Amino acid sequence: MTSETQPQSSLESSSNSYKAVELEKKWQKQWMRSNLYKTKQPLANQKTFYALSMFPYPSGSLHMGHVRNYVITDVIARLHRMKGDAVLHPMGWDAFGLPAENAARERGIDADKWTNTNIEQMRIQLKRLGLSIDWDKEISTCHEDYYKWTQYIFLELLNSGLAYQKSATVNWDPIDKTVLANEQVDSNGRSWRSGAKVEKRKLKQWFLKITDYAEELLQDLNKLKGWPENVKVMQKNWIGKSIGAEIDFTINDSNLNQKIKVFTTRPDTIFGANYIVISPEHSLIDDIIDDNYKQALIDFRETINDLSDQDRTSETKPKTGIYTGRDAINPVTGEIIPIWVGDYVLSTYATGAVMGVPAHDDRDYEFAIKYSLPITYVIQDPNDSSKEQLSKAYTQKGVLINSASFTGLDSDVAKTKIIEFGEKHNWANRKVTYKLRDWLISRQRFWGCPIPVIHCNSCGVVGVEKESLPILLVSPNKDKSNLTNKAEKVICPKCQKQATAETDTMDTFMCSSWYFLRYVDNKNSNKPFSSELIDKWLPVDQYVGGIEHAILHLLYSRFLVKALKSTKLINIDEPFNNLLTQGMVQGLTFRSKITHKYVASKLIKDPLNPIDPDTGEDLDTIYEKMSKSKYNGVEPSEVINKYGADTARLFILFKAPPEKDLEWNESDVEGQFRFINRIWRIFSDNRSNFELKYVSPSFKPKDLSKEDKELRKIIHKTIKEVTKDLELNSQFNTAISELMILLNAIYEYKDKCNKTIINQSLTALTILIAPFAPHLSEELWEMLGKDNSIHDQSWPEFDPSVLIEEEYKLIIQVNGKVRGFIMVPSSYNEEQIKESSLNTQVAKKWLNGKDAKRLIIIKGKLINIVV
Ligand SMILES: [Zn+2]
């Protein structure tokens, strides 16, 4: 063993320190040889438990965020295995995507080789964490036996009308040369991956009809009781349901028999509609624009051509527009109001036209001020009527003013009445809209799942026959700088004529939106999965992953499950029953106060007074998410080589509750290593003294001393608390605190109790710490004389009778004066206390044959008899 693998703490010198790294390797070898973590078929009446981590992208190295994610899932999986459930705990690889393709292009390596090498490296790193993964269930989305079924699922969607192709203005990333989904463009209009300014292009694209499921995806959030509230709110906002009305505004020109349909969520403000704004892409625009304004429109379109939807609707960007030279008629006021074109109105949202109500909408207000349009207030703050003429928009609900017969009504009531009025007069329709757009899945990339369709001159787009799947990746030509897929010649399955194969591949989110279904049946070569097995194992009992997937991945997975249910491939309607979104792992970060430049922690001599080695300037010390660019990362392998995986696991679980951010701190890591060593020493230093042996925590020895009883009580309290912490809300940190209390008690009582009770406490500690420190507990288990694996051991149950004080002294008062006492069992309820108190000599004497006027009982203390 080299000096690097030895802990640098003071414990190193101890002759009896725990050889974590050596022992962990030993147990990992044994586990690999055994069937310990294999998924067992559930017995009759046995509960199944599906523990799932979000699978990683195979970048080649595990980071601390991964470690935290998988350790949390592992503790949960181990607990349920010990509780007697049939557990499925799989792992796989989200293996398509750009980095492999970029590596192939830049370094001339095959994308599949690059990916598979990374997978091999990461699998080794995962195994060193001591995870109870069933590696027989492993999948990789880039392997033929997986993507064949992704294609199969695509064809199912195509055949049921849920996949379609249409020409669309798309977000084009000029660096990665691909189309991005709206969600992959940040609020500054840049690609989430390359950071490039996104351009607009018109291309034929494949879409999935997620919008068909908008209402169901929204309503079924109510079924997800085991999801964090914030994730549900994010999904709800993303779906963005709003109830409003479509309202027709007639164009004020008898030659133009046209109406403009606007959508509004605030029909109650229609009396304040001072103008109309339509999107520059609106289908009627070329018909209605006045000849004198046509050039202005062409120029205007030029100025917004490069802007993303996010740019155009961004709150910080000034709104711009032009007058069309045409007006419309407000259907309630009869006023003539101008029609404008505005960049902030998108043709893809609702009708692509809005009514401008500057008094009650911030964007409209800004637009009206800029172009000197009138502003009419029609809603009043019910608590402050002085705000009628404001210097800004009043966007809340309130009471209607300046609204003819609707004046005085409350906004909500007026909304309904105005829609009814408009429906009666044929200018309004109640309308529900969603912000959710169909899911754009095609990518012009090589390293992805090929879309299994062909283009035939006679038959159009035709899905490939399922028998001929998989449609293999087109192997890239020797010149890896050009990896665009070739449009190969194929035979049309319908008419047998020559046709061309589709060259687009699918968004990797498509591959990851069904992987949890494949795990249960990953060797099936006839179907993507058997629906009987899905029924047996799903919905997933516990899903663990990062909050960054709160919207897209989780929404796409929910959609796909619902779509597959409608095609009768499965029976479930939600994929994940319980969701835990773990917080970030943050590293100690040093940053310049002036330039905000990051300085590597290796260059800092005194972390308490950090100074920039180049400039001598004082630096800020902060905790931020670990990343290469901030030089604040901690390599999992370094920690494992120094302290072992059990220490890393305990630290991660102890330092913060799982959903909170975790600040990596070396001295706290050492603290956990010392905890492990204290456990280790109480076993190894007392082998002969305690006559170490397994004693079941449920065993009830006779003739116990006061100290024996006290320690036994602590054992059962620990079992109770740890079980509660793990089962109710994954509070691993408080569970580990309880184990520390138990260990302290064992040290305190080790010379005062009989050996049976001491061994019972050691047995309990070993079993309870097993999910957290799987290697250490195996070693201790062996020292207790057991030859099976502790991970096959069943979880202990606490004995409530041990936990209660057996009896206590109950003071008896008569008319508030102490007259005596009795000993009562602490399990007694008020009725039993009353009965035994009244039966005492003292009570009988003072009552003298009469009933008590009143009885006042203070449980655990006294009874006052009022005579
Ligand atoms: Zn054809």
Distance CA 10, CA 670 (A): 10
DSSP 647-691: HHHHHHHHHS-TTS-EE--HHHHHHHHHHHHHHHHHHHTTHHHHT
Distance CA 749, CA 814 (A): 42
**What is the tens place of the pLDDT at every residue in 323-380?**
999 999 999 999 999 999 999 998 877 789 999 999 999 999 999 999 999 999 999 9
**What is the tens place of the pLDDT at every residue in 509-530?**
999 999 999 999 999 999 999 9
453 C-alpha to ligand 1 centroid (Å):
11
Cα 673 to Cα 66, 78, 741, 771, 774: the distances in Å are: 21, 21, 16, 17, 14
The pLDDT of residue 806: 66
463 C-alpha to ligand 1 centroid (Å):
11
Beta pairing partners, 782: none
> Closest Cα to residue 100, out of 89, 90, 108, 111?
111
**What is the tens place of the pLDDT at every residue in 668-723?**
999 999 999 999 999 999 888 999 999 999 998 888 888 999 899 999 999 999 99
State the average pLDDT over residues 577-603: 88
What is the pairing mode between strands 542-546 and 48-53? parallel
> Closest Cα to residue 351, out of 449, 199, 248?
248
* 431 phi, psi to nearest 5 deg: -150, 135
CA atoms within 13 A on the CB side of 845: 8
Q: Which residues of 601-610 are buried (b: 16+ CB within 10 A; e: fewer)?
A: beebeeeeeb
Which runs of consecutive H residues, i.e. helices, occur in 347-496? 362-370, 411-424
The pLDDT of residue 103: 79
The pLDDT of residue 92: 97
> Closest Cα to residue 447, out of 415, 476, 467, 421?
476
> Closest Cα to residue 379, out of 360, 363, 365?
360
**What is the tens place of the pLDDT at every residue in 717-744?**
999 999 999 998 889 999 999 999 999 9
Residue pointed to by tokens 């509960």: 47
Cα 45 to Cα 36, 84, 88: the distances in Å are: 21, 11, 16
Give Cα 135 distance to the centre of its chain: 24
**What is the tens place of the pLDDT at every residue in 752-800?**
999 999 999 999 999 999 999 999 999 999 999 999 999 999 999 998 8
Percent of the chain with pLDDT over 70: 96
470 C-alpha to ligand 1 centroid (Å):
20
Residue 47: other Cβ atoms inside 10 A: 13
439 C-alpha to ligand 1 centroid (Å):
27
Is the predicted pLDDT of residue 428 greater than 70, yes or no? yes
State the average pLDDT over residues 103-126: 89
> Closest Cα to residue 499, out of 467, 538, 532, 453?
453
495 C-alpha to ligand 1 centroid (Å):
4
- Asked whether the beta carbons of 88 and 49 are under 8 A apart, the reply is yes
457 C-alpha to ligand 1 centroid (Å):
6
461 C-alpha to ligand 1 centroid (Å):
8
Is the predicted pLDDT of residue 153 greater than 60, yes or no? yes
Q: Strands, E, within 403-486: which ranges? A: 428-433, 439-440, 442-443, 453-456, 460-463
State the average pLDDT over residues 37-44: 92
The pLDDT of residue 170: 78
Q: Please tell me the chain's helix, strand, coil percentages from 3-state DSSP, rounded to the nearest 5.
A: 40, 20, 40
165 C-alpha to ligand 1 centroid (Å):
17
At 759, list the tokens.
């061994």
At 584, list the tokens.
């970030």
Ion ligand 1: residues, CB < 5 A: 456, 458-459, 492, 494-495
Kindly report the CA angle at 470 between 476 and 441, in degrees rounded to 5? 75
**What is the tens place of the pLDDT at every residue in 202-215?**
788 899 999 999 99
Cα 702 to Cα 705, 708, 746, 753, 756: the distances in Å are: 9, 10, 20, 13, 11
pLDDT: is 443 or 484 the higher one? 443
The pLDDT of residue 56: 94
Distance CA 422, CA 415 (A): 11
503 C-alpha to ligand 1 centroid (Å):
17
Percent of the chain with pLDDT over 90: 63
**What is the tens place of the pLDDT at every residue in 339-354?**
999 999 988 777 899 9
166 C-alpha to ligand 1 centroid (Å):
19
367 C-alpha to ligand 1 centroid (Å):
52
The pLDDT of residue 608: 82
The pLDDT of residue 485: 54
Is the predicted pLDDT of residue 10 greater than 50, yes or no? no
Residue 433: other Cβ atoms inside 10 A: 17
The pLDDT of residue 445: 81
pLDDT: is 476 or 729 the higher one? 729
148 C-alpha to ligand 1 centroid (Å):
23
Residues belonging to the chain: 867
Question: What's at 744, amino acid-wise?
Answer: N
The pLDDT of residue 335: 95
Q: Which helix (H) or strand (E) holds 549?
A: none
Residue pointed to by tokens 């969603």: 434
Is the predicted pLDDT of residue 175 greater than 90, yes or no? no
Is the predicted pLDDT of residue 476 greater than 60, yes or no? no
502 C-alpha to ligand 1 centroid (Å):
14
The pLDDT of residue 483: 47
Highest mean pLDDT out of 12-16, 174-178, 619-623: 619-623
Which runs of consecutive H residues, i.e. helices, occur in 770-825? 774-783, 800-803
Is the predicted pLDDT of residue 102 greater than 90, yes or no? no
491 C-alpha to ligand 1 centroid (Å):
8
- Asked whether the beta carbons of 367 and 356 are under 8 A apart, the reply is yes
Average pLDDT score over the chain = 89
> Closest Cα to residue 555, out of 152, 57, 214, 97?
214
* 699 phi, psi to nearest 5 deg: -65, 135
Question: Torsion angle, CA of 548/553/558/564, rounded to 10 degrees?
Answer: -170
Distance CA 40, CA 52 (A): 16
Distance CA 711, CA 753 (A): 8
Is the predicted pLDDT of residue 217 greater than 50, yes or no? yes
Residue 14: pLDDT band (50, 70, 90) is: low
What is the pairing mode between strands 163-173 and 498-501? unpaired
